[in-house]
């Protein structure tokens, strides 16, 4: 799962790059400002994909563009590595019991 801090930082960066206030983004994305701020501050641990898609729409970027950063790539690579080597699995889930 993606780190909520990285999602918040990505939203901040895109808002700054596009000179978009959080209030404007909230309006464009049709989500409450409180929800947006919790995502940006990282207090929402796992924002739903539909919420992230609404935010992307408000930022006028695709989901692909949103997640196309080095930080997200590192997470994908780490998850891929963990799946290959069975890291992070519960003992009872492991094939090597």
Tokens representing 24 are: 């404007």
Region 54-76 average pLDDT: 92
Question: What is the overall mean pLDDT for the chain?
Answer: 86
Q: Give 1-35 pLDDT, tens digit per residue.
A: 457 788 999 999 999 999 999 999 999 999 999 99
Question: Does pTM top 0.85 for this prediction?
Answer: no
Tell me the domain boundaries of the chain: 4-88
What is the C-alpha separation between 69 and 41, in angstroms, rounded? 19
Q: Output helix, strand, coil percentages for the chain, rounded to the nearest 5.
A: 70, 0, 30
User: Contact, 96 vs 86, CB < 8 A?
Assistant: yes
Please name the CATH architecture into which domain 4-88 falls: Orthogonal Bundle (1.10)
How long, in residues, is the chain?
Answer: 97
Instruction: Rounding to the nearest 10 degrees, give the CA dihedral for residues 31, 45, 16, 68.
Output: -100
């Amino acid at each position: 799962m993606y780190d909520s801090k990285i999602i918040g930082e990505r939203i901040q960066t895109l808002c700054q790059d596009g000179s978009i206030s959080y209030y404007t983004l909230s309006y464009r994305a049709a989500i409450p400002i409180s929800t947006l701020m919790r995502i940006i501050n990282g207090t929402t641990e796992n924002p739903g994909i539909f919420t992230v898609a609404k935010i992307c729409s408000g930022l006028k970027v695709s989901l692909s563009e949103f997640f196309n950063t080095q930080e997200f790539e590192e997470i994908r690579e780490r998850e891929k590595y963990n799946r290959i080597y069975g890291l992070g699995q519960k003992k009872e889930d492991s094939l090597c019991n």
